[in-house]
With several copies, the nearest count.
Chain A
Amino acid sequence: MTYIVKPKNHHPLLEKNELGLTRRDYEGAVSTLCAGCGHDSISSAIVEACFQLSIESYKVAKLSGIGCSSKAPAYFLNQSHGFNSVHGRMPSIATGAAMANHELLYLGISGDGDSASIGIGQFIHCARRQLNMTYIVENNGTYGLTKGQFSATNDLESKSKYGDDNLFPSIDLPSMAIQLGASFVARSFSGDKEQLVPLLKAALSHKGFSFLDIISPCVTFNNHNTSTKSYDYIREHNDALSRPDFVPSGKEILTDYPKGSTVDVPLHDGSLLSLEKISENYDPADKIKAIQNIQESQRDGKVLTGLLYADPEAKDLKEILNVSDKPLNEMDLNDLCPGSEKLKDINSGLK
């Protein structure tokens, strides 16, 4: 287990990254979520990851559905355009947006209600299309914004705050994503920044559909002791696959893990996700095994976290559809309009 180990050297807020920006420059509006909400920790992990990667905020599009989680994009990356769409439909908005301009970085934030219930169809088909985006589900096992109904990721053994039993098995989004064609799939925990930040950095650097299922306790409606998505429960049942470290492209690989105990996942831009093996079952390249691992650990009451699956070679939707490299939204009449001569030909063809 990797968390609770706090980051060793404290980074002052004013430290600068390669762009000369501080963490502050990656923040957003003040959160209106409940104090202690896991979603806020994820926002700050996103800030950290973007800061460390020296991402240009204005080249990021933040997309979401509806829910407490879907509000989160307002709380990071102030200089990014955001789109808070309708419930469960972020993936289609992301797909259209990414087709219009493949050069931005698409970061989708959703909730377990948003993605596993009303939005499960869009989630599935977005993964299947291998859209180049990072898709995060801030998974609290509940409908936070509508006040605590069970979501479809809630576990069978879990009870509600008011003592009601959850009657149905949980939907495991990571195994679904792997099956469907996602090429980067990880699970993490909002309370474990040391694991989360490198995974986020790798996901953001990965080309293709990167999916992160982040357990993110809802302190108001699903943090009681009969919940399986509470801080305590996750801390106790977390079974980390690996301790990740992310090395941007062009940087030397510097990990302090003993040799031989690491797996390196090279990403398309040359950056490396370097992973210290913790679990033996670990092989992020084997799809079928990955699903099996997840399901076995679920059966055994454990919550497997870490990088579950990665295929750095996978194509993304733009390539699959063979869309041109000049962003479609930059094309003008000269690029797009076949003109009057061609139309004359068409007319003659229709005689």
Chain B
Amino acid sequence: MKIKSVNDFVIKFANVNGSGSASANQMFAKGVFRSGIPVSPKNIFPSNIQGLPTWFEVRVNEKGYLGRREGIDLFVAMNPQSYQKDVEELKAGGYLIYDSSWKRDFGREDINILEIPLTKLCVQEFTNPKQRLLFKNLGYVGLLASILEMDKDIYISLIEEQFKGKEKLIEPNVKALNIGYNYAEENFKDYCDIKVNKSNKTDGLILTSGNDAAGLGCVYGGATVCAWYPITPSTSLAESYSKYSEKMRVEIGTEKNKFAFIQAEDELAAMGMTIGANWNGARAFTATSGPGVSLMSEFIGLAYFAEVPTVLFNVQRGGPSTGMPTRTQQSDILCSAYASHGDTKHILLIPSDPKECFDFAVEAFDLADRLQTPVIVLLDLDLGMNDWSTKEFEWDDNNQYDRGKVLSKEDLDGIEKFGRYLDVDGDGIPYRTYPGTHPEKGAYFTRGTSHDEYAGYTEDGVKNAEMLTRLVKKFQTASSLVPSPVFNQEKNTSSMGIIYFGSTDCSMQEALDVLDEQNINIDAMRIRAFPFNLEVWEFIEDHDLLFIVEQNRDGQMRTLIMAEGGIIPDKLVSILCFDGQPITAEHITNKINAHISGKPALVAS
């Protein structure tokens, strides 16, 4: 039996990390994307630099279902260490490609094996030992191009683009590609029933990661200071900001930077620098992951209480503690929403694809400035580090930055007495001044200790309670400013609803279609921000039963909804996945089916 399919399959690569495979696998995916079919490459890498098993999964799906799907159709198994486990994942009728320089019996009759002696071929063709190793990877890309009947020229262009400026390298790379391609043309002509046919489903799409997009969004959003400390999976967000800034933010003539990029000594310092810069009127941000958020929590409380705008990207990884640094989770919801001791609440923005990462990065700075408080943008490893087929970035040149309530020298001249923490407008948001604005007016003392409307230190507890109560009002104001939820339907038509958020979106779209096919009518809402606004509460109100889909153990979003909304908990049913892999559509539909039918689900939570 052979699996037969056009533009709809999952291919997985098993390699050894540090061997250059990720970029070859990425190239394979990009080739499919350029053929006009949406792809979702996912790099499943170890927390180590070299020598350990690493995998790379690419879902190819013309309909645009790009969530993870279990069951592999094609397996490129290049790592003998993991053969055993790898082969098990292959569906019956699937295809196994392996390096037959060392022949092997896989003990499965129900799969199709394509043998290619890659090492031997590379040893024949190349003399440099590094190249011999590296080019095996391009070899199997060539093979895939052949058996999937793809346009080889796409890959040749990709190679040419990659080595622009180092043209000498183009030829050996193309040669490597051809090794596999030609071998397959000779040996596997018409063997494989999975095909990639050119299509146009990627029109208007780009292939990029959430971190890359968010970093770019920070450039467009006017961030000028980035202070960070390296941590997987957030590092590439800061690096993206730096890369794009170096390209587009250098003063012509002086060659000086219109940005400051600082690798801090740790996360506490990174957050302190971010707060200091924002206090002084620059848009500044930091990016980190769980352990960093824990370390920053004292500072987050300062920014909350002293009302300093702050933007923090938390690219979530598997927790708790150091946990699974190279796996994905959505398990920092509570620690982000309630970060720091005392009564605190923070704005969360939760994008679901790279396009939204770009948009929300821009919006985060507007919200932080407008609300004078920390804004935490929650990504996760899957969204942040993997490339997604996402809508093109857009920018309206009429956009303006909302710098919030900042008093200029002229404003101050017109004011009798400036009160930094006075609620002048009744929205809970006071006015601020930047240092150095006015020679006589507007200076004040920023502090994390109790203060009055004029920023004076006070130990009057009632006064302090007033300030705390104003912060509640400000948070209410925030709920009308943050992005609204997105609904799958124009009008609710079911008594059941699904609530989901973030990177789950891609599996959810598929799940909803499957449920629809199964005649299960269910409304769906994607939460995009905290505090929850009226539309969120109305949706919850409107339904008797709500599934909340989360990639964590404790149902943290459910907790947040109950805590904030006074929602009857019985109607909130968790669907959880916390094994570090992105949730699948199947997982979701199985759980829903099980709940509806009263039978246990087929997938373990």
Q: Which A residues have a C-beta under 8 Å from some C-beta of B?
A: 32-35, 56-59, 61, 63, 66, 68, 71, 73-74, 78-89, 91-101, 103-104, 117-118, 120-122, 124-125, 129, 143-147, 149-150, 152, 220, 318, 321-326, 328-333, 335-340, 342-343, 346-347, 350-351
Contacts and interface: CB of A to CB of B under 8 A. Distances in A.
B220 A322 contact: no
A270 B50 CA distance: 44
Contact of B260 (A74, A88, A99): A99
B324 interface: no
B545 to A, nearest CB: 41
A116 to B, nearest CB: 8
Given A321-B260, A336-B258, A61 B280 contact: yes
B266 A117 contact: yes
Nearest to A321: B260
Q: Looking at B52, B276, B277, B443, which has the most chain A CB atoms within 10 Å of its CB? A: B276
Contacts of A331: 222, 224, 258
Nearest to B34: A351
A63 B444 CA distance: 12
A58 B443 contact: yes
Contacts of B216: 346
Contacts of A93: 272-273, 275-276, 279
Interface stretch (B142-150, B227-235, B375-383): B227-235
Interface residues of B, number: 90
A332 B554 CA distance: 38
Contacts of A146: 230-232, 235
A152 B443 contact: no
Interface of B: 18, 33-34, 47-52, 202, 206-208, 216, 219-220, 222, 224-225, 227, 229-232, 235, 244, 248-249, 251, 254-282, 284, 291, 298-299, 302, 321-322, 392-397, 399-401, 433-440, 443-449, 457
Nearest to A80: B443
Nearest to B260: A99
A150 B264 CA distance: 11
A94 to B, nearest CB: 6
Given A92-B264, A118-B265, A338-B219, A329 B434 contact: yes
Contact of B257 (A32, A58, A323): A323
A330 B222 CA distance: 11
Contact of B278 (A79, A96, A332): A96
Given A101-B435, A350-B206, A350-B207, A328 B225 contact: yes
B449 A84 contact: yes
A100 B224 contact: yes
A347 B34 CA distance: 13
Contact of B248 (A78, A97, A117, A342): A342
A86 B298 contact: yes
Contacts of A87: 291, 322
A100 B263 contact: no
A78 B456 CA distance: 12
A32 B52 contact: yes
Contact of A74 (B33, B206, B254, B457): B457
Contacts of A97: 276-277, 279-280, 435
Contacts of B399: 333, 337
23 contacts: A34-B18, A57-B443, A66-B322, A68-B48, A81-B433, A83-B279, A84-B445, A85-B447, A89-B269, A92-B270, A93-B273, A95-B272, A100-B278, A101-B434, A104-B435, A122-B272, A324-B256, A328-B224, A336-B258, A338-B220, A343-B393, A343-B395, A347-B206
Given A96-B279, A329-B224, 12 more contacts: A34-B49, A61-B280, A78-B443, A81-B433, A81-B446, A86-B298, A91-B269, A95-B272, A97-B276, A98-B276, A321-B261, A324-B254
Contacts of A328: 224-225, 258-260, 277, 282
A129 B34 CA distance: 45
A58 B222 contact: no
Contacts of B274: 96
A167 B139 CA distance: 41
Contacts of A100: 224-225, 276-282, 284
B262 A321 contact: yes
B225 A89 contact: no
A347 B393 contact: yes
A340 B393 CA distance: 9
B265 A117 contact: yes
Nearest to A324: B256
A125 B206 contact: no
B102 to A, nearest CB: 20
B282 A143 contact: no
A332 B403 CA distance: 10
Nearest to A101: B280
Given A86-B298, A336-B249, A121 B276 contact: no
A318 B259 CA distance: 10
Nearest to A121: B265
Contacts of B267: 118
Contact of A347 (B230, B262, B392, B401): B392
Contacts of B256: 322-325
A346 B447 CA distance: 42
A206 to B, nearest CB: 20
B82 to A, nearest CB: 14
Nearest to A61: B435
Contact of A96 (B207, B255, B277, B449): B277
B48 A32 contact: yes
A329 B282 contact: yes
Contact of A58 (B202, B281, B438): B438
Top-6 shortest CB links A-B: A92-B272, A96-B276, A100-B282, A329-B281, A96-B273, A81-B435
Nearest to A330: B281
A351 B219 CA distance: 20
Nearest to A339: B397
B273 A99 contact: yes
A182 B274 CA distance: 23
A51 to B, nearest CB: 16
A220 B207 CA distance: 28
A101 B278 CA distance: 11
A81 B443 contact: yes
Given A96-B275, A121-B265, A325-B256, A34 B51 contact: yes
A88 B271 CA distance: 13
A323 B449 CA distance: 33
Contact of A99 (B262, B268, B396, B449): B262
Contacts of A124: 265
A85 to B, nearest CB: 7
A95 B227 contact: yes
A351 B208 CA distance: 9
A99 B264 CA distance: 13
A318 B552 CA distance: 43
Contact of B225 (A99, A120, A322): A99
A329 B220 contact: no
A55 to B, nearest CB: 12
A170 to B, nearest CB: 13
A58 B436 contact: yes
Given A96-B227, A100-B284, A333-B399, A85 B302 contact: yes
Contacts of B322: 66, 86-87
Nearest to A337: B220
B50 A343 contact: no
Contact of A332 (B33, B244, B401): B401
A322 B259 CA distance: 9
A78 B397 CA distance: 42
Given A322-B256, A333-B401, A347-B393, A89 B268 contact: yes
Contacts of A143: 230
B51 A35 contact: yes
